[in-house]
Structure formats: C-alpha cells, structure tokens
Amino acid sequence: MPPLGDMLWLAGVSVVTDGGMTHQFLADKESIASERLAVAFLADVLGPHRDLPVVTWSGESADCPVLRKAAARCGMADPMEGRWHVDLYRFAERALRLPTPRLKLKDLADYFQIPRRDDIESGTQAVMTFKRLVATSNGQQRRRLEKQLLDYNKDDIDVLVGVTDELRIMTAALPPPKFP
C-alpha cells in the first residue's frame, strides 16, 4: 500500500454547466480496492464531459500525479489522459498579481469573499481526519468524520469554481496586449 499521501482516497468534481452538479468519492479504507473505486468514479464522472476543461488548483504538481500513480497501481487508464486540463494555480502564478499574502486557494477565497464552511483547514488535517475515520468502528463517529471530509472537499470544489469565475471576470476585462 502506498503512503497515504500518495493514495487516492478523496475525489470531487463539479461539472459546471447549466445546473452544475458536484460529485464526490470518499474511500472507506486504505486499500487498492478503494483506490480502484476512486479511479473508476473519476472516469465515470469525467467521461461524458470530454468537451469541458478540467480545472485544478496546483493539479500539475499534486492531483494529476496522484491520480496517474493510482491508476497505474490499479492497472487502469488514467481518467485525465488526453483531457483538456487547466492548472489555475500555474496560470495565476504566471499571469496575475493579487494583494494576497500567498497564492493559496483559501487566501484567494478570502480576497474574493467566497464563503467557506468547512472545519478542516489543510490537506494535512484532512489526512489525519481520514486516518481517524478508517481506524474507528464507531458508526456515529465514522459518519461525523465522513461528513467533515466531504464538507471539506465540497468547500474546496466550490472555492475553486468561485475563484475560477472571479479570475475569468478579471482577465476578460483586460485589454489585449499591444505589440510594436
């Protein structure tokens, strides 16, 4: 089993179309079988939407390599293979200057006044919460931890969609560059 930081155990996708829908997957244990379900989940959700870009925040260095390794471990195709991928962090890093202390998604959410509701503040805290989830057999505690993790994931998805919208608005207002 890979280290938990390399295991695909939580995934979420918001299909932003008319009446957009958010889909989430949360593993119930640390196993290849759970990873296989996560990869299959992403393939099922992304499959019908080949014409839409997949937007991530720092996905080139985080999400995509984890998914690629999980798919390889499971002997499955990478659901991102051949897809139109936009790493919004890389775009913002190269193209924008914003009055935020860091170029972190939650800092941008605060700047753009996008509400956040989750109790989990970081990926490290999410991993620790997942470790508690898989270690407990108490049904009530499991449901509470599952809800926390899914709320954290949904919040990240909603913030990414909101920041994407705000950056699209900002960049659309820019005049085209003038060349001599």
Task: Please give the Cα distance from 175 to 157 (Å, whole number).
Answer: 30
180, part of any domain? no
Q: Is residue 177 part of a domain?
A: no
Q: Is residue 178 part of a domain?
A: no
Count of CB atoms situated within 10 Å of the CB of 47: 9
Q: In which domain, by residue range, is 90 found?
A: 4-172
Give tens-digit pLDDT for 18-47: 667 889 999 988 899 999 999 999 999 999
pLDDT greater than 90 at residue 144: yes
**For residue 176, is pLDDT > 80?**
no
CATH assignment of the domain containing 125: 3.30.420.10
Mean pLDDT of all residues in 37-61? 93
Number of domains in the chain: 1
Q: Give the bridge partners for 87, in sequence order.
A: 56
- Average pLDDT of the residues of the chain: 88
Q: Give how far Cα 59 sits from Cα of 33, 54, 80, 119, Å.
A: 24, 10, 11, 23
Is 145 among the domain residues? Answer: yes
Of 53, 64, 44, 58, nearest in space to 17 by CA: 53
Is residue 143 packed enough to be buried (19+ CB in 10 Å), middle (13-18) or exposed (0-12)?
exposed
Residue 1 has pLDDT above 50, yes or no: no
pLDDT digits (tens, 9 = 90+) for 68-93: 999 999 999 999 999 999 999 998 88
**CB-based burial label for 50 (10 Å; 0-12, 13-18, 19+):** exposed
